[in-house]
Amino acid sequence: MILNKKLFRDLFKLKGQVITIALVVCSGISVLISSISTYLSLSQAQHKFYSDYHFAEVFATLKRAPVYMQKRIGEIPGVSQVETRIVEDVTLDLPWLQEPAIGRFISIPDSRSSNLNQLFLRKGRWLEPGNANEVLVNEGFADSNAIKPGDQIYALLNGHRQLLRIVGIVLSPEYVYAIRGEDLLPDNRHFGVFWMNHKALSAALGMQEGFNDISLTLAPNASEQSVRNDLEQLFLDYGLSITYNRKDQVSDRFVTNEINQQKIIATFIPPIFLVVASFLLNLVTGRLVQNQREQIALLKALGYTNSSIVLYYSKLVLVIVLLGAILGIGLGAWFGKLMTQLYAEYFRFPVFHYLFSIQAAFIGVLVSLFAAGSGALRSIYQVVNLAPAVAMRPPAPPIYRMFRLERFDLISHLSASAKMFYRHTFRHLFRTLITSIGIALAMALVILGLFWHDAVQYLIKTQFLMPQKQDATVSFTQQLQDKVLIELKHINGVINAEGYRIAPALLRNQNFSEQTALFGIPPDAKLKTILDKNENPISIPENALLLSKGLAERLHVTLGDWVQINMLEGNRAKTRLKVQGIVNDYVGMFAYTDIFLINRILNEDHLINQAGISIDHKYINQLYKELKKIPKVSSITFNVSIVQTFKETFAKHILVFTSILAGFAIVIAIAVVYNNAIIILAERSWELSTLRVLGFTEREVSNILFYNIIFEVLLAIPMGIFFGYWVSWSILELMQTDWFKIPFIIEPKTYVISIIVVIISSVMSLKRLILI
């Protein structure tokens, strides 16, 4: 009963330390719960959607094949289910949009008995057989354009402007992340996916009794590559352009990469926070108990057993940890739900609920209890083994020796306070070093939380701004003669235009291969430039390749290696080209070469299928109207929109999560420095009081503490910079994927902020000590 009263009194007396230690526990547990729960929520939503709605495993795109070929596909060994359909990108005319928009129209069986890539109806109703003007639309496009069932739009189908009525809003496992294959980022405002009855769409596009797209699933133990090879042979005469598996399907690639990155975050970042928090917790609680040496001895003298004393301090630690755990679990659940809601803005799942991880909460609390308990029990064990009379006295002073600096009389000119600081610090060097390491680890967490802002800004600059001098990119529905550039330049508002040729190709190096886009650029290109790792422009080679870093790594090639090129459209020519440069593309995996080389390989006559344009924004509205009139323009993408989309999707998610990390890291840093200062005061209260009795002024006594804390902080700063750099680099390396890489950039201001956080914490602690 008496010990319980003492427990409450000690908790109140130590309220500053109790709160800060609890915040350290809270930070570690919150990061653990929020990241693991977000990963589990994402992973389960994806798995359930793919499984329940029969997402296909292999895909193929061709020009046109007769419907009877579907039976031949089913006869390929290893094919389980197959579905053929019509897929076509067309221009939309939306009255509320000045700029052009693109709709991808996909046919579905009139009976709605689709076996693969089934749809989930979010709003409205299904298509009715016989109604040729009804369509379903994906939710992302509907939300971005405030479309609801019953609204009408115009689409340019096979050159004819047709009025269509939207009857339902749907989700598809194929378009969880709705993005066109040639785009780097989603644009739900200007790109929508529409589903239409097969009979109606085939009639509108003049593709009766035909199809141009294949989806299929594999039988158990089937060889995917064998099935794809047989598919390519079967449709070689029908303009087959590309086959790919699920992992190379655009939507799945982005979703799976994001889930994998979230898994890495959940696997590595929370343990770092938890380990640092545990180390600091162990350090602080151990020294906290050590400072109550006299009280422990008094309790023993009054007859309390060792077990009752251990139980008392166990309760003290338990209360502090549980206080932090309750707060950490609540904040972790809230932050996890916030992250899930952010993902839901651009990953469209029918069911996307936040899954709270009980296991993560249990692990976090258990690790925190172990760290705090072990630190406290270690110190208790050292004290309870002493006789009460011995323990009630201050610890016997250790045996000291004169340091070399003192022998050479190098410190004689120092003040008495400075000499006392020097002798105390270097005679407790190990403890000083451990304390500085604790501060350095807290500082490293601040750097880990803040450097992402630097990386994102650098990525935007080097991926979207510096190499993209054009204001907009115009894509065409098919390859056109480059004289179309003259037509574009004659449009009022277009200042300059240059053409590009993008062709699908299979790049192979020995046993390594990758399907990608071969990007043909004019050698004298002004609007699109390729940058090296030093941000300098790279000349477009005439008879060689430039490969993005991710593609080079996937193919296991370096400068000077030769790559086999198999074109996947046109004459399907094969050639070999030398790798002349590696490009630091952070988004996508592309190969670059001279546009005239691609034309020669494909035996084409100056064809392009994309153009970059610089524009006079005074004529932007007129430009939109003119581009809408060109039937062969499939899309127009503005650089400003790309950057804005990136900021609203990937950047927003990364920066929200890392801001949370930075916030917790700052809390840990403040808590560590504050507790260290309070403990230093408690440890030296006897000698400092004696100094005041001997005539030392308050300023002289404060200087001893000041020198001590500042020295530990100064020692921690270079270690914190090193730890922060190393941890940030390690985490980033683990998160990199072939398709999306985050540059490792830490600006000086990030280091400065982390140093300022530690210094401000020290100043606040010193002010607190002066008041005490």
Contact between 716 and 433 under an 8 Å Cβ cutoff? The reply is: no
Phi, psi at 527, each rounded to 5°: -90, -25
- Residue 411 pLDDT > 80: no
- CA-closest candidate to residue 479, choices 650, 605, 354: 605
Contact between 520 and 555 under an 8 Å Cβ cutoff? The reply is: no
Q: How many CB atoms lie within 10 A of CB 616?
A: 13
**Which DSSP letter does residue 740 get?**
B
Phi, psi at 151, each rounded to 5°: -70, 160
| pLDDT tens, residue by residue, 520-556 | 999 888 888 888 777 788 888 888 999 988 888 889 9
Can you tell me the mean pLDDT for 455-459?
A: 87
Distance CA 189, CA 140 (A): 8
Contact between 705 and 766 under an 8 Å Cβ cutoff? The reply is: yes
Q: pTM surpassing 0.85? A: no
Q: What angle do CA 597, 599, 600 make, to 5 degrees?
A: 65
**Which DSSP letter does residue 173 get?**
G
Please state the domain extents for the chain: 1-59+259-396, 60-253, 417-467+639-772, 494-615
Topology of the domain covering 494-615: Barwin-like endoglucanases (2.40.40)
| pLDDT tens, residue by residue, 54-68 | 999 999 988 889 988
Q: Given CA atoms 751, 753, 759, 761 in this order, what sign does their dihedral have?
A: negative
**Residue 680, token pair as written in the block:** 């230093």
Res. 766 pLDDT band, cuts 50 70 90? low
Please list the residues that pair with 378 across neighbouring strands. none
- Residue 685 pLDDT > 70: no
Look-up of token digits 């002289």 = 700
| pLDDT tens, residue by residue, 696-721 | 777 777 777 777 778 888 888 999 99
Distance CA 233, CA 236 (A): 5
- Which runs of E-coded beta strand occur in 484-573? 494-509, 512-521, 530-531, 537-538, 544-548, 562-567
* Residues contacting residue 245 through CB under 8 Å, at least 6 positions apart: 57, 58, 59, 224, 228
**Residue 125, token pair as written in the block:** 């109703």
**Distance from the first to the final alpha carbon of the chain:** 31
Chain-wide mean pLDDT for the chain? Answer: 82
Q: What angle do CA 405, 408, 409 make, to 5 degrees?
A: 85
- Residue 760 pLDDT > 70: yes
Counting Cβ atoms within 10 Å, is residue 389 exposed (0-12), middle (13-18) or buried (19+)?
exposed
Please list the residues that pair with 123 across neighbouring strands. 169
Q: Are strands 191-197 and 134-138 parallel, antiparallel or unpaired?
A: antiparallel
Q: At what angle do helices 306-344 and 293-301 cross, to 10 degrees?
A: 140
Q: What angle do CA 123, 126, 128 make, to 5 degrees?
A: 145
| pLDDT tens, residue by residue, 115-146 | 889 999 999 999 988 888 999 999 999 998 99
Res. 597 pLDDT band, cuts 50 70 90? very high
Three-state SS string over 593-657 comes to EEHHHHHHHCCCCCEEEEEEEEECHHHHHHHHHHHHHCCCEEEEEEHHHHHHHHHHHHHHHHHHH
